[in-house]
Structure 1
Amino acid sequence: MLAAWYERNGPARDVLRVGEQPDPLPGKGEVRVRLRASGLNPSDVKARGGSRPVIPPRVIPNSDGAGTIDRVGAGVPRKRLGERVWVYNGQWQRPSGTSAQYIVLPSAQAAPLPKKLSYQQGACLGIPVMTAHRSLFADGPIRNRNVLVTGGAGVVGHYAVQLARWAGARVIASVSSGAKAAHAKKAGAHAVIDYRTEDLGRRLRELTDGAGIDRVVDVEFGANLPAYAEALRPDAVVATYASMKAPEPTLPFYNLMRLNFTLRMVFVYSMPPAAKARALADIARWIATGRPKFAIAARFPLREVVAAHELVESGDKVGHVILDIP
């Protein structure tokens, strides 16, 4: 099979290779997927850069993708053969991800892909949508709640806005530019705040008529908390999936304690099985009953995997980067 891989951590241009690798075969409880698209996430480029060690002898990167099941292992119903699927966590604690023509993985990690979605759209559904789902729904219903999505134009934020709106919340997104504001509004945000030009806490109180924020989905917890903490309501929940700028954040402990504040960390790779199952079920319902919007910033052929990694690392994009698998 044609695949992209690296044998050591380092810059994309130095370590990524493209060539032939052996076709994998499914084991017990596994399926083999003939991939047509691979979704490239920030965690994938960070892993290649060194956030996770190489699993010998090589790593085929990327965890998200979409394609068709062409082989099944023992214990998997043969009726799954030919099924269009999207896959997630493909390269978590495994050497072989979705930057290849084939992947084998547990049957449960290959979810049905509705006919109305393309393979490229299916490759968007893994880490970003499951992270957004967990952040929003892990702590109860959000109907009629005020939800703040920081980084509302980011890949996770884009789906958090959509899922929150689908679930009946009032959604406010924070962004850093006019173009990103338009992107968040298109996703369904009721209101957008440019945190570079506006006082985030004051605007949140204004937009909620003084009621404040019930839930936050936060892309940059340590840096963002001081800006919105004053707008949190009692029993507010902040769900965060990153804090790159302040990896060891400080908290106004007693102010938050008096609110009975809850902080939820979200790491999609190690979510409990029940949370993953609920996410898959709700995502399927959202696709069937909502109007999902996919923002694909760029598509690259597999042989241009270096350029794809470099674009994701640059941050100079709005939306997904997808590898097309021949």
Structure 2
Amino acid sequence: MMYLVFIAAAIVTIFTAIKLSNYADIIGERTRLGGMMAGTILLAGATSLPEVTTSLTAITVGNPDIAVSNIFGSNLFNLLILAIGDIYFRKHKIFSYIGKDHLLTGFLNVGLTAIVFIAILFPTGYAIFNIGIEIYLLVLFYILGLKYMTTSPEANSVLEVASTNESDCHTQTISLRKAQVGFFIASLIILIAGSALTISGDAIAFATGLSSSFMGTFLIAGATSLPEVVTVIVALQLANYHLAVGNILGSNLFNLMILVLCDIFYMSGPITSAVSPVVLISVAAGILLLLILIGGMLFSQTRLVKSTTYPIPSLILVLLYIMCSYLIFTLG
């Protein structure tokens, strides 16, 4: 029964998240909530809502491992999606079209993930208002990073990149009122589906003996990241390579802020001090895969790149993802 619940919740999450993104895009375009910035924040929250509800539900059921591993598992899965797309469309040399804005987003992702890695490896246990001091540092560097990216003449805002998503192709016949009602209903459905996904995943982990870290990092994270699969596939088919890369890196950056919510609602102290050491594998893999992705972008824009050597970074990324899966499965 729990397997059927998990599969059904995953399917509902996929299709509802896509509709949610479409409705959010319409609301952002047709209201005066601060122009594109407001619409972008709405969209970013909409596309990350499955991860939000899943992680917060994990906190509610007392499983911080699933909460944290879901975040980094989703980020790993997103990078895997991009790497596979790059390999499949290797003749187009996707990364050769990528500019400095995406590189800055990638480096900011690396920096924030590194903060979490250090916090889990060397937990201080100190908290202010029950929130770990590491989380305050995470938010501080997130804000400073976005401020630099929005003011840098060399880069577009990561939020601006994220606003150009698959919902640009949505129908113009949907009214603002219908979009608002649809967004509210879809949000409730996502809330229920994400909760069901976490509860059933926790039950599967208990029944099968699989670790919560493995469930959160791969099965649950994979399910909540499937909307990004659709986004990347559509973007690559339309030859919109900036959209494909920007959507993945922007989503990963936003996902890291879910950790802040998790720490706020986790009442037993800093959440980074409560997770299993196995989660460190996912976090470390996130840093490594991001560096490989950034290296692949830089490599693709040099004279050394050829048709035969171009997909090597993405192939390495896929291989490391598989190795990470095996390690978490065996050590968890």
Bin for the TM-score computed over the shorter chain: under 0.3
Structure index of larger Rg: 1
Structure with a larger share of its residues in helix: 2
Q: Which has the higher contact order (CA 8 A, sep 6+)?
A: 2
Q: What is the TM-score when the length of structure 1 is the normalising length? A: 0.23
Q: What is the TM-score when the length of structure 2 is the normalising length? A: 0.22
